[in-house]
Structure 1
Amino acid sequence: MIDHLRGADQPAPDTISEQQVLDDDFQLALWCCYELYYRGFDGTAPDAEWDPRVLAFRAELEKPFTGWLRTLTGPALAATTPVAEQLRALIDADDGPSLAAYLQRHATRDQFREFLLNRSVYQLKEADPHSYGIPRLDGATKAALVEIQTDEYGGGRAERMHAELFRTTMRWLDLDDTYGRYVPDVPAVTLALSNAMSLFALHSRWTGALLGHLAALEMTSTLPNRRYAGGATRLGATEEQARYFTEHVEADAVHEQIAAHDLCGRYAEENPDAVPDILFGAACCLALDNLVAEHLLTAWNAGQEGQVAS
């Protein structure tokens, strides 16, 4: 497997600069390493994720990736005020491009389709990376994370799982809702967004970052999803086809408070040294979302929508 990921003529990953981290092949190789911990691949040994060669190769990729994330988000932030307040300040200061506003008012069907195609890389396994945090927590922090995740998984009803709701939205625009179908087609920034979640999920050292990432997701979800729903309706989506977005408008208004206060706030009280990691995870979420938005909007403004494989 390593030979297929690296390629016979490729340099060892420790020679890769941070500028090369956003190479499509780099991010795809890292995504493949991480995917062994989710669904795996046909023809791959069931225990391939523990192969020492895979672990070593993954570590070689993670080093420049983590360094690039640090550069992307700036210097580490220290605890100065309650972490929930710092998370809100971080989000309020974010001035990235408003992809949601464009999709609400201006996007064509092809553009909305491309948006869904890119989102499918994570959304078809929505909540799974953050669930890795559950066994690392205890007491109230564990209960808070489980409360959020229970809603993400539809409260035990398969048809209400957020990943399943997203499949319905994909089918509205004739997208293939097979898990991982569009991974080979999306740009490196989309894979990087997914890979950051897996980086935090698979390392207990990054538990704080995993929780901060989740908090940022929940705290920035309500308004964009209201706009996504408006754009989908404008383009002819039925109530059922837009339910993925409308479901998040209501659910994430509640999740925002749980994630900021009951999850991150309590975890920071119990682990004061983890505050910089919590804020790092949140900053990664915001910065990577902005990169994906910038990539799509730049392509659309140049008239390049709809060029991803169907």
Structure 2
Amino acid sequence: MAAVTVVITSCNQGPLIREAVESALTQTVRPERIIIVDDGSDDQASVNVLSAILDDCRHGVPDTGGVAVDLIGQVKAGPSAARNRGVAAAETPFVVVLDGDDRLMPTFIEGTLPLLTADDSMVASSGWLRTFGVLDSVVQPTGGDAGAFVSHNCCPATCMICRSAWERCGGYDESMRSGFEDWDFFLSMLESGLAGGAGEDDADGTGDIGDAGDAKEDAAHIGIVSEPLIEYRTAPASSNVTSMTKRLDLMRYLINKHHDLYTAHVVDAVLGAEAISMERLSMWETLMRGDKFASQEFMRHPTYGDGGMAAAVRLQS
């Protein structure tokens, strides 16, 4: 079984970070190492929790089963910088990225790792989310290739990545501190990680994005296990909700940054956005007719990456 490191990012998350660490330690396929990256916590209670976690692990409470648990501190620089710092410190070919207020379900590594080891064109993998807190639901992202990701994000921020793909695309964009940094990262990996090393073999090192449509079957893609593998905490003031107020500005940034990718997949982007619009319009029409089934189903299984989950959290709140 290939070696895996779990990188957990944290900033002033108090006891929640302990739950995240314990979820990584209780995996059915254990990681080789857990790296906690503290992004400048200035709440003393949170700092004390981090110290206690390290102390407990050194004394075998909980039983780490030989899993190394390390802490890296940095001046507050945002989630992208924290993730990059952790992945850079990992020495394994596969890395799980986990936010400190969320939890992995026990079979996360067991379910996602085979997708990457069995398919060289797979740059990342994840699973469905079981939300808790404000919203109780199962969210079902779909994954896919670049054509799927240009209209909306199709993968949770908590995912397993190929470290080589992270290196090839340059990692997370550390200038993005208002949200969507995970979507941007997935676009970057899909853009630079074409199967067969296209991103590495080209003379200019950028890959031939213009041929992405012709080689769609061979293009890099992201896989999703069709079962809940992540426990995702929802709260009214979470970044998933607050980033919605800046959605159009953030999307403009993504389109400009990944201009060649969007140019190559303009039809996918337009039709993907239209499909989302048609689905929402249909739900609104059924609700106006007095049929609440579609809206109730939406609350049980809100859509991911297109504002659906944030809308469900706002409605439930």
- TM-score normalized by the length of structure 1: 0.28
Structure of higher RCO (CA pairs closer than 8 Å, 6+ residues apart): 1
Q: Counting strand residues as a fraction of each chain, which structure ranks higher?
A: 2
Q: Whose helix fraction is larger, Structure 1's or Structure 2's?
A: 1
